[in-house]
Amino acid sequence: MDDPARQRSRKTVMTYESVFKVLVEVLGEDKDIGEINRDDCRYVLDVIRYLPANAKKKFPKKTLVQISEIARKRKMSPMAPLTINKYISKLAAMLSWAVEEELLDHNPAKNLSVADPIHQQGKRLPFSDWQLKKIFTALEGKSGAEYWVPYIGFYNGMRLNEICQLNVEDVQQHDGIWCFAITRDRTIGVDDKILKTKASERTIPIHPRLIEMGFMKYLKRFERKPRSKLFPDIPAGTTGYRSDTFSKNFRRFLRSIEADADRTSFHSFRHNFRDALREGNVRHEIAMLLGGWSDRSRSQATQMFYGRGFSIETIYEELAKVVYTELDN
């Protein structure tokens, strides 16, 4: 954790610390890292894969090994495969570091995981029309983050934390077009921004529908507060992510208006946006740029580094093709 060559967000650090606590408890505090083998790693996986969510809260006086055995006998619902695999991937990452430091000859946790029955693309669904109508009808009369964050997610396809952590200075004009600058950098604003990937850093035009709805009028209230967060009513969570707080409130909001459904959450707006990009026949490279998605095609990814890229005007014209006929009419 003290390796100066690695930079981690507070959320990642907390995840690692949680994993280390599990390892210490399951393998023993005196276990030499150089002695960890494949059987040890499989044992850790075997304990974790039967643990229920919030295991220690449910059984505060039991060890993790005991809880795992109890849960297995009672056939309790375990943590989601994605969560289990996150623990194992962090274990593998630590052991990979140990190999680099010549504490181990090989990584005994490599390729260790549990099967996830839900395909990656099926983990989240876009909101259906009936959900969207309920959501946006319920937003009428609201203000600040409650109102604007869902609309930005819907029309600009930004990740929740990208929206929540925006500084006022991140709303900029380029070639006469108002844009969101999604970046870790800051000049006068709050220095607490985190991005998911390198592809996440981008400058994208604000969707014309947001301008029509009065977003610039909202921005005007910060003329005397240029050092502020764009949504100061969203506090940072314990992990440092402002999205944690908003996400919990949004889940409660969906339940309160009876718009919650299986495999939908705030992230579903990005799926709606991706579908709208396809329906609008938005050029692939620009679609990837707008959403901050990495292009897995090596040849296309290489091409992205040639030339100066698209002009803001061209990107704006493509973004304007994102329309939601059922809602906008």
- Model confidence pLDDT, tens digit, residues 236-250: 888 888 999 999 999
Q: Looking at the structure, do residues 218 and 70 belong to the same domain, yes or no?
A: no
Find the CATH number of the domain harbouring 233.
1.10.443
- Is 4 within a domain? no
Mean of the pLDDT values across residues 130-138? Answer: 96
Nearest to 10 by CA among 249, 227, 244, 199: 244
Q: Looking at the structure, do residues 90 and 168 belong to the same domain, yes or no?
A: no
- Is 124 within a domain? no
- Is 174 within a domain? yes
Nearest to 41 by CA among 102, 77, 87: 87
pTM: 0.77
Q: Looking at the structure, do residues 305 and 163 belong to the same domain, yes or no?
A: yes
pLDDT at 307: 60
pLDDT at 118: 64
Q: Looking at the structure, do residues 74 and 183 belong to the same domain, yes or no?
A: no
Per residue in 45-70, pLDDT (tens digit) is 999 999 999 999 999 999 999 999 99
Report the alpha-carbon distance of residue 202 to residue 208 in Å, rounded. 18
Per residue in 301-310, pLDDT (tens digit) is 444 445 678 9
Q: Looking at the structure, do residues 112 and 193 belong to the same domain, yes or no?
A: no
Indicate the pLDDT class of residue 160, thresholds 50, 70 and 90: very high
- Is 123 within a domain? no
Residues 6+ apart with CB under 8 A from 298: none
Among residues 86, 117, 148, the one where a domain terminates is 117
Number of Cβ atoms within 10 Å of the Cβ of 260: 15
Q: What range defines the domain where residue 16 resides?
A: 10-117
pLDDT at 220: 95
Q: Looking at the structure, do residues 176 and 217 belong to the same domain, yes or no?
A: yes
Q: Which residues pair with 178 in a beta bridge?
A: 173
pLDDT at 287: 96
Report the alpha-carbon distance of residue 81 to residue 91 in Å, rounded. 15
- Written as six digits, the tokens of 309 are 């890229």
pLDDT at 188: 85
Report the alpha-carbon distance of residue 135 to residue 140 in Å, rounded. 9
Mean predicted lDDT score pLDDT of the chain: 90
Mean of the pLDDT values across residues 204-231? Answer: 95
- Is 2 within a domain? no
**Is residue 205 scored above 90 in pLDDT?**
yes
Among residues 117, 151, 179, the one where a domain terminates is 117
Number of structural domains found in the chain: 2
Secondary structure percentages of the chain, helix, strand, coil, to 5: 50, 5, 45
Mean of the pLDDT values across residues 1-24? Answer: 83
Reported as type and span, the H/E element at residue 203 is strand 202-205
- Is 262 within a domain? yes
**Is residue 121 scored above 60 in pLDDT?**
no
Among residues 91, 117, 143, the one where a domain terminates is 117
Q: Looking at the structure, do residues 155 and 248 belong to the same domain, yes or no?
A: yes
- Is 3 within a domain? no
Which ranges of the chain does DSSP label H, i.e. alpha helix? 10-27, 38-48, 55-58, 64-74, 81-100, 129-138, 144-156, 160-164, 208-212, 215-220, 242-256, 268-279, 284-291, 298-303, 312-319, 325-328
Strands in 202-205's sheet, in edge-to-edge order, are 171-174, 177-182, 202-205
Q: Looking at the structure, do residues 103 and 22 belong to the same domain, yes or no?
A: yes
